[in-house]
Chains A and B, each alone.
Chain A
Amino acid sequence: MAATCNDSEMLRCHSERVALRCLIVDDSDHFKEAARLLLEADGIAVVGTAATFAEALRRFHELRPDLVLVDVDLGEESGFDLVMRLWEEAEGRRPRIILISTYDEQDYAELIATSPAVAFLSKPHLSGRAIDDILRKANA
């Protein structure tokens, strides 16, 4: 892993720098647990998790995370709607939001394109590096 971190805009930094604070919103406990372990191992601080729309909003205001991973599919609720809401509610410093799903990106291309989320990440491809790449692209 790269130890240098000279770009001040760079939010994500391993080891030496302050870890990226992440909130995971997903209704699958199995996934949340697996993702938390994986991301923590990759140096991302998972500061909280939420399973529902309301819980996600509450945790978001409590924790003020740098990054929110939102599952497209929250049972009866829509992850796209949640993203829109988070985007509207977070005034000033807006968080980076990444949509995640077991579905293929192509399945939701239209909805993803109109969403303020920075990117879509397929759940099987979740990793610290993948998030790193997304954020670097978004900042470029």
Chain B
Amino acid sequence: MRARWLSSLLRMARPPLVLGVVVGVVCVTAETLLALLLVRVASTSPLGLVYLLGILLVSYMWGLPLGMATALGSALAYDLFLVPPTHQVTLFSSWSWIALLVFLVVALLVSGAAALLRSLLLEADERRCEADVSAGTARLLLRAEQLRAALPVVARRLAQDLGLPSVAIELGPAGGDRRRAALPLSDEGARFGSLVVPADLPQATLRRLRERVVPSLEAALVAARGREAVACALAASRDELARVAEEQAALRRVATLVARGVSPTEIFNAVAGEMGLIVNADHTAIERYEPDRTVVLMSSWSASSGGGPPPVGARRRLHEDGLSALVLRSGQTGRIMVDERTAGELGRWARDEENGVAIGGPILVEGRLWGVMIAFFRGVERQPEGVEERMQDFTELVVTAISNALTRDELAASRARVVAASDETRHRIERDLHDGAQQRLVSLGLQLRMAETAVPPELPELRRQLSHTAEGLALVLEDLRELSRGIHPAILSKGGLGPALKMLARRSSVPVDLRVGVRERLPERVEVAVYYIVSESLTNVAKHAHASLVDIDVHATGGRATVVIRDDGTGGADPAKGSGLIGLSDRVQALDGTIEITSPAGQGTTLTAVIPVGDR
């Protein structure tokens, strides 16, 4: 507050010279009058000091020359009115001139000191002002998010604080001309910009700017530039971190799907989408190579919804100049510019009129080139970076998913083959028994009965023995029939599920309420599985459940055969204990089906099996 008041006082322009003369005369007159008053109470000699006040004021306000004139005037007045004899210039007449000389010297010194004080105070104020300006500039520059945006504000502030008509701070090469002076701004000798001010400023102001404003401005600008660079680097590394985190999250999502063993199709879709977002592509696709130089689209994704992608499973011929062919040839990641020449390659899903950049990564499954992952970027001027590396992470997940699926399919196929082979063998044994041993035994039985009738009546013992043998043979036949029914139900092949299940129901010791909703013949493996599920369940119910009724519902709808078997028995069955049920479970799983048993104690047992019917 005080500093500002002082500063405004100091900054006041010098009053006009005439006023200074008037003030000097007035001061000398007033001081003389005051001294004349004082002389009555004090001695004459110290009264010369009274004149110093006026000299001080005039020197301070109007400078040294007028101050000196005032000093001379004061000396004359002092001599005339106060040094006896009064009203007479004594300078050359008496020894009093010594006192006058001393007075004059002191007066001159005071006027010099006052003028010096003013200039010192002015300079101190300027320095303080410059320090304020420099601090303010530094604050503005260092707080600014963007240096360039802050420069005009800083320049305005400089102009205001330094009282200049216009100031501009320009980065880059010098921008001065005839009307504007460019003061160089440099960092360790390297010029990085200019402080541009009007060319017609006084030399002193220019020097002051050059010597005292420019250095602090340079320092602040260098610091601000440094700060901006650090902030940029920080922002870049933050963006990079965020990108890495996003990518990791996307990879984790896909990896979770892979680990959950969802279908490859789902994984392909997830990979196409996630990868498209991560590498910022316009389209992505996964294609599978076929032996006949075609590719099949496994999945595709588009950033925008315009133009539906071709259906999954669409097949197209390899385009020799295209990306898929390039990756197939090289077995490596490839990048092509998509233009009129190659547009047809991607035209199906990246529309024909679009030019751009396409990047493809090979998908190698168990050493074989399985397919290609493609990312398409619209616009040829854009050269996406780092796509190949990031694509690789996704490709590896796809490879894992495909390998898993292959292994799973192979396992399932192998289980299905084992079951089918075992069914086939049983079927054959049953047929062999039927066509061979059973027919022979039946024929033997008939022959025995003929022999029996041919025995003469006088040989009753022989007749009895033959009859006995025939009965034994009939029992053997009965056993054999039971055995072959257990090996394979002939009725199933002949009549299908309905008659076969009705036969089981009829033979069950526990009454069965059977509903069969199967219109046509199902694949043999499914019929056999359903038959054994029902057969095994009925055996279990008869053995363990103490049930009075079994409810069986079998129906085939929507590509699946469903079997629900419910009894009203004691429940509490443990599927792990019944080896028959484990065998059933294996059989159902081999057909990619599910089997589920709930058996709460006291509430009966319910078995539910669902088997995909699939192709015949």
Contact = CB atoms under 8 A, between A and B. Distances in A.
Interface of A: 27-28, 30-31, 33-35, 37-38, 41, 72-73, 75, 78, 80, 102-104, 106-111, 123-124, 126-127
Interface in B471-513: 473-474, 477, 481, 485, 489-491, 494-495, 498-499, 502-503, 506-507
B212 interface: no
B615 interface: no
B503 A102 contact: no
For the complex of A and B, 3 pairs with smallest distance between CB atoms: A34-B443, A28-B439, A110-B499
Given A103-B481, A104-B481, A109 B502 contact: yes
Nearest to A28: B439
Size band of the interface chain B makes with A: 20 to 34
B101 interface: no
A39 to B, nearest CB: 9
Given A123-B442, A124-B474, A37 B435 contact: no
A125 B193 CA distance: 121
Contacts of B473: 124
Given A35-B446, A111-B499, 9 more contacts: A30-B440, A34-B443, A41-B454, A73-B494, A107-B490, A108-B495, A124-B473, A124-B474, A126-B446
A89 B263 CA distance: 54
A123 B443 CA distance: 9
B434 A38 contact: no
B442 A31 contact: yes
A80 B496 CA distance: 13
A42 to B, nearest CB: 8
Contact of A41 (B439, B440, B453, B491): B453
A1 B13 CA distance: 163
A102 B449 contact: no
A83 to B, nearest CB: 13
B404 interface: no
Which of A33, A38, A41 has the largest number of chain B CB atoms within 10 A? A38
Nearest to B481: A104
Contacts of B485: 107
A30 B481 CA distance: 18
A139 to B, nearest CB: 25
Given A30-B443, A38-B450, A110-B495, A124 B506 contact: no
Instruction: Name the prevailing secondary structure of the B interface residues.
Output: helix
B503 A106 contact: yes
A28 B435 contact: yes
B362 interface: no
Contacts of A37: 446-447, 450
* Interface hub of B444, B494, B503, B506 (most chain A Cβ within 10 A): B494
Given A30-B439, A37-B450, A73 B499 contact: no
Contacts of A107: 485, 489-491, 503
A47 B460 CA distance: 33
7 contacts: A30-B443, A37-B447, A38-B449, A102-B442, A108-B495, A110-B498, A111-B491
Given A73-B434, A104-B481, A110-B495, A124 B445 contact: yes
Nearest to A72: B494
A17 to B, nearest CB: 20
B150 to A, nearest CB: 95
A67 to B, nearest CB: 17
Interface in B103-138: none
B438 interface: yes
